[in-house]
Amino acid sequence: TYVWPNYLYDELEHLLVDQEGFNSGAYFKRAITPCTHYVNGNQTLGRMTAAQWLRTAFHDFATADVAAGTGGMDASIGWETDRPENVGSAFNDSLSFFAPFVNQYVSMADMIALSVVTSVGVCSSPNIHIPFRGGRVDASEAGAFGVPEPETDIQTTLNQFAQAGFNQPDTIGLTACGHTLGNVHHAGFPQVVGPEAVTPDNTGGGIHFDSTVDVFDVLVVNEYLEGTGQRGGPLVTSDNVTVRSDFRLYTSDNNLTMKGLSNSQEYFVSECISLMARMLNTVPSSTTLSAVIDPVDVKPVNITLDFMEDEYGPHIVFAGYIRLLSTAFTENATVK
C-alpha cells in the first residue's frame, strides 16, 4: 500500500497524473498535444514529438543484453547520439526537453519511459495506458552499439532483439507497435525517402508509416497486409530494396505475426501494451524497479509546516492541499 511520503512514487505519480489543471506538470503533456505537435521547432518541419519520444525509448532499449544484465532503459542513449545508428533529431530533441524534469528522485531513464506512456496515451482514444514503473538508474557512460538500422540484415536484427529478450514474433510486434506513429524523414534518411517528400509544409520530408500518423492503431498492420494507404510505410516500400527493414522483418515469418495482429484493434492494443511494458521494464540487472505507479486516491500536495509568531503568539501552521482523484483518469486511461 502507498504511504505518503514516498519521494520517487510521489514525483512520478505527479508527472503521470497531474497533467492538466490543478498542480499540473502540464508542460510535459502539452508538448505532445495534439499528438502531431512538434515542440522543438517549426511545425512545417514535419516532425512529431510524441513519435520522437517513442523512438528514443526504442534506441535506449535496443542495446540491452539481458543475459549479461547490461543496457536497456538506462538513458545511455544520451551518450550515444553522435553514433550513425542514432541518426535524427529525435534523441537530442527529446532528452533536452526531459532534462528540466530530472531531479534527485526522477532519472532521465524514468522520463524516457514515462514519455512513452504519455505519448501512447495522448495519441489514442480511448486512452491506452501502459503500466508504468519507476526507479531506473541513469548510465554514466555510453553503452554497447547495435541499434538495428534500415540496412541491417534480418538475422542480425533478430539476434539483436533476442539479446534484448525479444523473440521473432515479439520483435515484429514491437516494431509494428512503434511504427503506427510518426514518419521516416528524408532529412535523416535520404537513402529511404527521396527529396520528392520535401514540400514547404514538410521541409524535413517526413513520410507516414500509416494513414493515421497520429493515432495509435492497427492501421499500419492492415495497410501493410492489404497494400492500401501507406502500405506499411517507407521501410516496406522504399525504392531502395536494401533499406526495406520492415518488409524483411514482417515477412520473416511469412506474415504470420502481422496477420495475427490484424485480428482487431483491441488485440493489437493489448499486444502493444504488453510488448511496450516489457521494453520499458528492460533494465540493467543492478536496477530494481518500483511497483506499478497508479494514481493515488488521496494525496497531500505542497504541504508546509511553518513555525510562526504573530498577534496570536508562537504557533505551528500546517498548510497545503489534498488532491482527490477524480474518476476521469481511471475511466479514460485504462483499457481493461
Tell which positions 146-165 bind ligand HEM, by CB under 6 A: 148-150, 157
Task: Kindly tell me the number of DSSP H helices and DSSP E strands found in the chain.
Answer: 13, 4
Judging by DSSP bridges, how do beta strands 298-310 and 206-208 pair with one another?
Answer: unpaired
**Residue 100: cis peptide before it, omega within 30 degrees of 0:** no
Q: Which of 12, 15, 90, 236 binds ligand HEM (CB under 6 A)?
A: 90
Binding range to ligand HEM, per CB under 6 A, among 1-9, 33-41, 98-106, 170-178? 170-178
Q: Considering the rule CB under 6 A, would residue 88 count as an interface residue with ligand HEM?
A: yes
Host H or E run for residue 331: helix 327-333
Binding range to ligand HEM, per CB under 6 A, among 51-59, 124-132, 216-224, 319-327? 51-59
Nearest distance from residue 183's CB to ligand HEM, in Å?
4
**What backbone torsions phi and psi does residue 65 show, to the nearest 5 degrees?**
-125, 95
Q: Considering the rule CB under 6 A, would residue 269 count as an interface residue with ligand HEM?
A: no
Specify which residues 298 forms β-bridges with. 324
Binding range to ligand HEM, per CB under 6 A, among 122-130, 143-151, 219-227, 289-297? 143-151
Q: Considering the rule CB under 6 A, would residue 189 count as an interface residue with ligand HEM?
A: yes
Binding range to ligand HEM, per CB under 6 A, among 120-128, 181-189, 250-258, 313-321? 181-189
User: CA end-to-end span of the chain, whole Å?
Assistant: 22
Nearest distance from residue 72's CB to ligand HEM, in Å?
13
Nearer to ligand HEM, 146 or 178 (CB): 178
Window 216-245: contact mask with ligand HEM (x via CB under 6 A): -----------------------------x
Query: Long-range contacts for 160-165 (Cβ within 8 Å, ≥24 apart)?
Result: 160/62, 160/63, 161/62, 163/64, 163/65, 163/66, 163/67, 164/61, 164/62, 164/63, 164/64, 164/65, 164/66, 164/71, 164/72, 164/282, 165/64, 165/66, 165/278, 165/282
